[in-house]
Structure 1
């Protein structure tokens, strides 16, 4: 059995192994990483020998870490770590999957109410977990402006409700954590990915953000934007923050990962509606929130539709993708959730 894992921003780790009577045998670790001294490579492989086939990522990584601690002398691992070895083992065994193992369905249904978008995130994630749908990439379109707050944010601390009402802005609470998303039709680019948990098997939350956002950097490069990952879940350019992302994992093995990117944001209006405090800005190296946001439009001079088309084209080149559509039963279920949850003031203010 053979498994590989390319560390985001790092090196490739490969593992070859056999399974005999439920245990790992003949384990061989290799890759284009850097490791000193040479003899430590045998320690990496030996640490995995004899472990049960159902050992989880943390057990595999811990076994490697402990074995290296017993090595007579310091060991230097560059471009990879024990967790990367564990993920490679899990991929060899079929517990972890790679992008090419899946075919993504592209969904771009057109304008929908903000609460329905939030409901669809939950529905599509639950559908994948139940085995009724495969992984998806869904782009949002909407008419009325909205603020989508994170699952655990305080409504009154994050939103000036009087200003939101004055501007006709709908406030919706989503199921994922993270910060508030200020959204106006034509002024931002938002998309949701729903993937099986096997795609990020063995990764920490921090690593899964990096892993699932990596393709976005390539898509931005295609439209002339030099971007990097910053913090836990942000995407930035040298001129400022471009986007933020958030995740939710559900029972059954599905991960929701979504990104909101400023295209031509009205920063002054955003600052009137969102209560962005000094503590929020303290680790960003700036005293003004509108200096944190650098719209894609100013860097590309491209229409929003052209940017989205470039993102879709990049994703298609990278991963197996087919065009898809929302199913009637999914829309019906999402509509129910709007009535009972996402459009209910009690849910929106569940953290007052």
Structure 2
């Protein structure tokens, strides 16, 4: 049984969360850390943009300010995600070895296994997506991550239940993803709908048919503590791991602080891509 670090951090800002993920990726790539499973949340709620996105074209900045919601850009690809009432995970490990065969899609598939087991345990009919795209999400899919499933992500009744994105660096990879407990579709539309685009009613209809969350199907409603416990159980069993509770090292915290100053705390990085 392989030993991994389990790091559970309290709710923090979007800048801090993304900086910590990158600091852990650097540590694993440098051989300074064992593989890591990190569980975390966001305070305040945040919109994270994919690495290739630029803020004003992908997110309604005025609406984010109005609702007190952070905007941060990830080092991973993909599309915009609203992080609010959810459990977020980060897997940081060597590209090959242990449970991972090394290919990007294969590593996605490995991580999707415990997620699928989690949903099935809850009685939610989760199914793996065989390909990268599907029709029917409408124009909103150009910016919103949860309207367009990628390979080995999970749908229920045609609606996307999980979102994940991956970054490879120095022989290691970071995959972070979201498991929404609840989701406010009107808020999601307002935040991720740039001015002058798709009709609101049509957009909400597209979201209704494209987006899923756990408490949409699980009754009575599930709480975050129970979801975390189930996630850890399924992840450890599915990948045959011993998860050892740990904390960020002083070096990792120092590096995260530097990354906030250099990147994630700056509009030039988050909104202009510089």
Q: TM-score, normalised by structure 2?
A: 0.82
CA contact (8 A) 1:220 1:311 kept: no
> 1:239-284 CA distances to partner (integer Å, 9 max, x unpaired)?
6211111000002x11001111221111110100003877xxxxxx
Once the 2 structures are TM-superposed, how far is the Cα of residue 193 of structure 1 from its aligned partner?
0.4
Instruction: Give the Cα separation in 2 of the matches to 1:287 and 1:213.
Output: 28
CA contact (8 A) 1:264 1:297 kept: yes
Instruction: Give the Cα separation in 2 of the matches to 1:215 and 1:297.
Output: 19
- Compare relative contact order (CA 8 Å, sep 6+) and give the higher one, 1 or 2: 2
Instruction: Give the Cα separation in 2 of the matches to 1:182 and 1:349.
Output: 16
Distance 1:337 1:202, change over 3 A: closer
Does 1:303 find its partner at 2:223?
yes
Query: Match of 2:140?
Result: none
Q: Which structure has the larger Rg?
A: 1
Distance 1:157 1:229, change over 3 A: farther
Query: Match of 1:14?
Result: none
Alignment of 1:189-338 (within 5 A): 189-199=87-97, 200-203=100-103, 205-230=104-129, 231=132, 232-233=150-151, 234-238=153-157, 240-251=159-170, 253-275=171-193, 288-300=206-218, 301-318=221-238, 319-320=240-241, 321-338=243-260
Question: Secondary structure at 2:42's aligned position in 1?
Answer: coil
CA contact (8 A) 2:166 2:176 kept: yes
Question: Secondary structure at 1:148's aligned position in 2?
Answer: strand
Alignment of 1:119-198 (within 5 A): 119-184=19-84, 187-198=85-96
Q: TM-score, normalised by structure 1?
A: 0.64
Aligned length: 241
> 1:112-146 CA distances to partner (integer Å, 9 max, x unpaired)?
22111100111000100101101111111222010
Query: Match of 1:350?
Result: 272
CA contact (8 A) 1:262 1:293 kept: no
| Structure 1, 294-303 or 156-165: larger mean CA deviation | 294-303
Instruction: Give the Cα separation in 1 of the matches to 2:205 and 2:22.
Output: 35
Unpaired segments of 5 or more residues in structure 1?
1-99, 279-285
Once the 2 structures are TM-superposed, how far is the Cα of residue 223 of structure 1 from its aligned partner?
2.0
Query: Match of 2:263?
Result: 341
CA contact (8 A) 1:223 1:310 kept: no
Once the 2 structures are TM-superposed, how far is the Cα of residue 330 of structure 1 from its aligned partner?
1.0
Question: Secondary structure at 2:108's aligned position in 1?
Answer: helix
RMSD (CA atoms): 2.0
Unpaired segments of 5 or more residues in structure 2?
133-149, 199-203
Distance 1:295 1:332, change over 3 A: same
Instruction: Give the Cα separation in 2 of the matches to 1:290 and 1:339.
Output: 38
Instruction: Give the Cα separation in 1 of the matches to 2:65 and 2:205.
Output: 27
Query: Match of 2:14?
Result: 114
Instruction: Give the Cα separation in 1 of the matches to 2:257 and 2:108.
Output: 29
Instruction: Give the Cα separation in 1 of the matches to 2:167 and 2:33.
Output: 17
Query: Match of 1:76?
Result: none
> 1:324-343 CA distances to partner (integer Å, 9 max, x unpaired)?
11112211210111111111
Runs (4+) of structure 1 exceeding 3 A deviation are: 199-202
Query: Match of 2:144?
Result: none
CA contact (8 A) 2:25 2:174 kept: yes
